[in-house]
A and B are shown apart, each in its own frame.
Chain A
């Protein structure tokens, strides 16, 4: 049972826009920044969004992040086949004094 809650799966067709939610509490998302990682099959995670809505250099602007209260979202527009991957949200938790990940969302491009 992960501290941050994500839907286990999401799907969309090429060109569509999909969103992945991440729900937490006041001790994590409510008081700290959220980051998102993309993990392609068989590879290490890659930083996709940091500080709620910033993109590292090289990440396409099709990817965007937002945060409101104790929830955050990752949006992917213009879905492409290479976006098929697992996506994780993460935040610091003040009560646990540690890093907490969401359970991950497997995105399928139909």
Chain B
């Protein structure tokens, strides 16, 4: 069974840092592009970042470019999101999602349950 389990969320002061993890199981994670998507409380879905199967290609939304870093450790089947210089507007539930193996680049067939990040003093 395919599973994605996020962890690492919590309360952090503005300007602080946090690293999210997404543990994958039930599939060969090293074969898939992976994404982070966030959702502020009561708001819609917003794409954050993506990484290709071997970690050599990364892309970011303008709102997080230069502050967030996506990475992966395929030996550990784990995806990461390092978040620095956090702002109040980064407060959201962060989901990791698996892109389908082939086909549409924005079709995410499996999602984690999400982890809440709160940037507040």
Chain A contacts for B46, CB-based, 8 A: 101
- Kindly count the residue-residue contacts between A and B in the assembled complex, taking CB atoms under 8 Å apart: 70
B11 at the interface (CB under 8 A from A): no
On chain A, which size bracket covers the interface?
Answer: 20 to 34
Chain B contacts for A60, CB-based, 8 A: none
Among B18-26, B75-83, B84-92, B107-115, the stretch that binds chain A is B107-115
A101-B44 in contact given A44-B114, A45-B95, A96-B62 (Cβ < 8 Å): yes
Residue in B50, B59, B107, B111 whose CB lies within 8 Å of A50: B107
- Contact (Cβ within 8 A) A51 B107: yes
- Contact (Cβ within 8 A) B103 A99: no
1/0 contact trace for B1-45 toward A, CB 8 Å?
000000000000000000000000000000000010100000011
| New A-B pairs, 13, CB < 8 Å, besides A33-B106, A44-B114 | A32-B106, A37-B108, A47-B108, A51-B104, A56-B109, A90-B45, A90-B106, A97-B59, A98-B59, A98-B60, A99-B105, A100-B47, A101-B45
Residues in chain A within 8 A of chain B (CB atoms): 2, 32-33, 35, 37, 39, 44-47, 50-51, 56, 86, 88, 90-92, 96-104
Residues in chain B within 8 A of chain A (CB atoms): 35, 37, 44-47, 50, 59-62, 95, 97, 100, 103-109, 111-114
Question: Can you report 9 A-B residue pairs in the complex whose CB atoms are below 8 A from each other?
Answer: A33-B103, A35-B104, A37-B45, A39-B45, A45-B95, A45-B108, A47-B107, A47-B109, A88-B45
